[in-house]
Amino acid sequence: MHKIIFLDVDGTLINYEAKLPESAAQAVNEARKNGHRVYLCTGCSKAEILQRNLCETDGLIGGNGAYVEDHEQVILHQGLSKEEVKHIVDWCNDRHLGFYLEANSGMYCNDYMLEQGPETMIKYAQGKGADLSMAKEIAEAFVNGFIHVTGKDLYREDVNKISFILSDYQDHLDSKEEFVGLEANTWGGKGETALFGDLGPSGITKKHAIEVLLEYLHADRKDTIAFGDAKIDIEMLDYCEIGVAMGNGGPEIKAMADMITDDVDEDGLYHAFQKLNLI
């Protein structure tokens, strides 16, 4: 029976240096040749995915579920309204927080992101195991991927979600109170350290996006397998028939997963695909 496979990207398909292990690409390619469908399921928007050298897949769930695509056919795109974007932009700027708008057309950042982004991304990369030299390279590439925008040009209508640097965890807690109608999450460095907060449309989750895609494909949930490494992936792994946690994943996702594979840099994806008879 052919399966539908959902892959988180950072820490699952690629490592924390944004490099795709050869074995992971081989696993995806072989699985697709065997008739299985493979979809990226990530917090990244399409613009960020296109900046990376990834293997071919059958489609994309981006923005933690705000965007769903099957073979370049858009199935769902539910972003933030311009009014919601303006509210978040003004709130972050008032707090002097660096942020970037995640849209399919690009990633648009404010002045504070250019100032705060490199240091924060160095912390992120080091927390995921990179040495200082590599962490600086990762941070530079990350910031160089932004389109710097100022003033009212930040009030866009095509935004899937917004990530902002946390000066303190209280910023995330305050965002939950300020934006009660939106989904508020955090992401960051080693383990589940919160370095960034993010805000997206209410009701938009990876699980919801998978439900939408399965309905479009006329596919059955019992044929689904999900792979992830972080708290944000737990709902996706719980929903799919089989949930696989990466060896480099956090303790929470490992505790609930049906299977734990090796680290992303230790051929974890390939080994799991073998054990599940996908290849």
> Can you read off the two tokens belonging to residue 57?
């897949």
> Can you read off the two tokens belonging to residue 40?
């990226």
Task: Write down which residue in 146, 174, 201 finishes a domain.
Answer: 201
For 87-126, write each residue's pLDDT tens digit: 999 999 999 999 999 998 899 999 999 999 999 999 988 8
Count of the separate structural domains present in the chain: 2
- Do 38 and 114 lie in one domain? The reply is no
The domain of 215 spans 4-78+204-275
What is the arithmetic mean of pLDDT over 28-40? 98
- Do 57 and 161 lie in one domain? The reply is no
Cα–Cα distance list, 94 to 43, 89, 98, 112, 198 (Å): 25, 9, 11, 11, 16
Cα torsion 124, 127, 21, 31: sign = negative
pLDDT higher than threshold 70 for residue 191: no
- Do 247 and 270 lie in one domain? The reply is yes
- Do 141 and 116 lie in one domain? The reply is yes
- Do 67 and 18 lie in one domain? The reply is yes
For 194-233, write each residue's pLDDT tens digit: 899 999 998 888 999 999 999 999 999 999 999 999 888 9
Residue 89's domain is classified under what CATH number? 3.30.1240.10
Distance, in Å, from the CA atom of 134 to the CA atom of 146, rounded to the nearest integer, reads 19
Considering the entire predicted model, what is its pTM?
A: 0.82
- Do 148 and 251 lie in one domain? The reply is no
SS3 161: strand
- Selected residue with higher pLDDT from 145 and 271: 271
Residue 271's domain is classified under what CATH number? 3.40.50.1000
Identify how many contiguous H helices and E strands the chain contains and give both numbers: 10, 14
For 156-189, write each residue's pLDDT tens digit: 999 999 999 999 999 999 999 999 999 898 887 5
- Do 73 and 210 lie in one domain? The reply is yes
- Do 8 and 73 lie in one domain? The reply is yes
Strand 196-201 relative to strand 159-165, pairing: antiparallel
Long-range contacts, 183-187 (Cβ 8 Å, 24+): 183/64, 185/43, 185/64, 185/232, 187/43, 187/163, 187/230, 187/232
